Chain A
Amino acid sequence: MSLQVEDALVDATTEKRRSPTRTRLWGVLLAPPAIWMIVFFISSIAIVVMLSFGHVNDVGKAVFGFSLDNYKALADPVYLKVLLRSAMFAIATTVISLVLGYPVAYTIALHGGKYKNALVAFLVIPFFASYLIRMYAWSTLLADEGLVNQLLRDTGLTEGIRFLNTPGAVVAGLVYGSIVFMVLPIYASLERMDTALIEAGKDLYHSPLQTFFAVTVPATRAGMLGGVLLVFLPALGDFVSAQLLGGPSTYMIGNLIQQQFFEGHDQPLGSALTVVLMLALLVFMVFYLRATQRVNRET
């Protein structure tokens, strides 16, 4: 194999056109990630798809089968209701992340100066701790008799505020968990943008705000679309935020899937739900791909 690699290197330097040896090298390099994907990603999806046509036997064991019963069970309006609720939460999360995240990315990219990289690093630091741990931390801080409410009571302004177990808390948790995925792509596209464009906009008698919407926003559309995708998709499938910060009526599709797997003893039904969710996400993915293609054509 080392011989092949050497060959390939020689080929690569001496020959500009592709050769069979060179493609073999790429094939070899592709093998580990391909095996990784097959073992840990594709096979698990395949199991989920196959299991979604199965059922649970009388001793509670999931078995494969060829029935559509699980999909028929999903016709129950309760699932549509939860899916819509999840979509609302995910849309709210995405919009809030965009509105909060854009100024952050803008400030770092255009006014960060020599601290730019340090500022980006600071944004990422909270991610050193797991999402779950941070959610637990929030639920401790914001509890009715937690630190924040104690401080509020000490000020004498309020008797304390109920933060937790509300739809707002779920969305706040989602925003907190994913906003950095909005900031980073926007930051990257702002970084790449030629600031001379902004100067040009001002030279053409645009106000700063007009320049922002006519020049900066279109130039960073690809970054925004990337951010929207990275925030929306995980938010739609999330269950941690609703589990730890939610109330009795904030159940999301992710919670429902988790319940089927871990509580309902019905992994086939959970699999069918997963497949439906994946198909729904696929629709957004196609929308995203088309939108980015349009952006690419325009620029």
Chain B
Amino acid sequence: MTEPSLSFNRRDFLRGSFGVGAAAALAACGFSGDSATPSTSASASAAAPMAQAKVDGDLVYYNWADYCDPTVLSGFKEKYGVNIIEANYDGYAGMLAKIQAGNAYDVALPGARYVELMRKQGLIQKIDKSQLKNADQLFGWGSYFDNPWYDPNSDYSTPFSMWTTGIAYRKDKVTTASGTWQDLWNEQAKGHIYVLDEDDEALGMAALKLGLDVNTANPDDLAKIKDVLISQKPYLRAYSTDDINNLASGNAWIHHAWSGDFLNFINNTATDPENWVYELPTDGSPLNSDAWVIPANAPHPGTALLWLDWIMQPDNVEKNINYIAYPLLSKSGPDIYAKMAANYPSLEVDVSKVVNPTVYKNHNATDQAARNAVWTEVKAA
């Protein structure tokens, strides 16, 4: 049996394909030369006309999984007669990578430092607050978020939720908690301890334990942080951000955890809520926030504005706080949350403390690479 012969041989075909492929890559890819500096791209998006709040298509929605009450989503669909096309991420950096690669979403929910990054990269569009009927719920009553550090005047974002990072543990297994980050080195729970699988959280935790700045990029500091994190590995079960499931499965006796996830776990999943403690380490606790943005390439920015408005409507704020168990940053949000968390003083989230040294900040390329290298070495060790 002979193969059909071709007038061009395989090698020519491959060579031709690769050449065209490389050209296609150059033409199509979302990366560019150094010319795309923050200033040019930011001014480009600022020059574009701002969207009007009216339905211009379905809502392409990008958020953490399960980080919004389903009835708030279905209510939006009914009210405006649109569909919601939902996509989820499991970390801010992954979300940023998708948007950088050109995937188009109408709304997304990055953490504060990612709002700043996306603004500087020209990835998000300016929001006309006059289009938002419920804007008075968020702004103009003396809220810190009238002019937050990551986005002057909240021009490009609307603040959503806030949380602390601390330690969750179960009382039946752990009786020797010290109330400091040293608890993530607890002998009783050796092999059952989880640390959040996020560079900022892990490096920040070690920094606080050592009495350093959570955002440090100083080589000596980073060397110490690396050593202390490697010294922790024998105590660990794994690195994971899936704190709710790790607590529920019984794999975790002690978990480096987010306040809202802990309360969510206590309210919805735990069979023995009294057995669990959330501790805010006395050597310092990170306090961070997130905000809604409309990407620059959003296909339906009008529907996106309607969503931002919908999500800050007081009844929806209440529904969402009850569902996700995080305090929301509107006028009514903190009180509703405070009632909910009344039994757990350690879960109190003081909005006025958002300007504090434990907020994760952005770094220049060299510093970011240095922090990244430490985290890589810790995880690979």
B93 CB to closest chain A CB (Å) equals 5
Chain B interface, number of residues (Cβ within 8 angstroms)? 57
- The answer on a CB contact under 8 Å between B233 and A34 is no
- Once the chains are docked, how many angstroms separate the CA of A216 from the CA of B118? 61
At the interface with chain B, which of A103-111, A172-180, A249-257? A249-257
With contacts A44-B25, A59-B120 taken as known, whether A34 is within 8 angstroms of B379 at the C-beta atoms is no
Q: Which of A42, A47, A146, A255 contacts B29 (CB 8 A)?
A: A47
User: Quick check: B33 and A64 within 8 Å, CB to CB?
Assistant: yes
Report the minimum CB–CB distance from A64 to chain B (whole Å): 6
Given contacts A42-B17, A46-B22, A54-B31, contact A248 B199 (CB under 8 A): no
Q: Are A165 and B238 in contact (CB under 8 A)?
A: yes
Interface size on A, residues (CB 8 A): 65
Stretch at the interface among B47-55, B256-264, B364-372: B364-372
Docked-complex contact A38 and B17, CB < 8 angstroms: yes
Stretch at the interface among A92-100, A118-126, A260-268, A282-290: A260-268
The chain A residue with its CB closest to the CB of B250 is A145
B238: which A residues are within 8 A, CB to CB? Answer: 165, 246-248
* A42 engages B237 (CB within 8 Å): no
Q: Give complex CA distance A259, B199 in Å.
A: 10
Interfacial chain B residues near A50, Cβ < 8 Å: 22, 25-26
> Other CB < 8 Å A-B pairs besides A59-B117, A264-B93, A266-B372, 17 of them?
A18-B5, A22-B4, A27-B6, A42-B20, A42-B22, A51-B31, A56-B365, A59-B362, A62-B100, A73-B373, A78-B376, A78-B377, A79-B380, A165-B237, A255-B379, A256-B376, A263-B93
23 pairs, A vs B, C-beta closer than 8 Å: A23-B4, A27-B7, A38-B20, A39-B24, A41-B21, A43-B21, A46-B18, A46-B24, A50-B22, A51-B31, A54-B31, A55-B365, A56-B368, A57-B365, A61-B31, A61-B100, A81-B380, A248-B379, A259-B376, A263-B199, A265-B96, A266-B372, A269-B372
Q: Which residue numbers of A lie inside 8 Å of B, CB to CB?
A: 18, 20, 22-24, 26-27, 30, 34, 37-39, 41-47, 50-51, 54-65, 73, 76, 78-79, 81-82, 139-140, 143-146, 162, 164-165, 246-249, 251, 255-256, 259-267, 269
5 A-B pairs with least C-beta separation? A145-B250, A42-B21, A143-B249, A248-B236, A43-B25
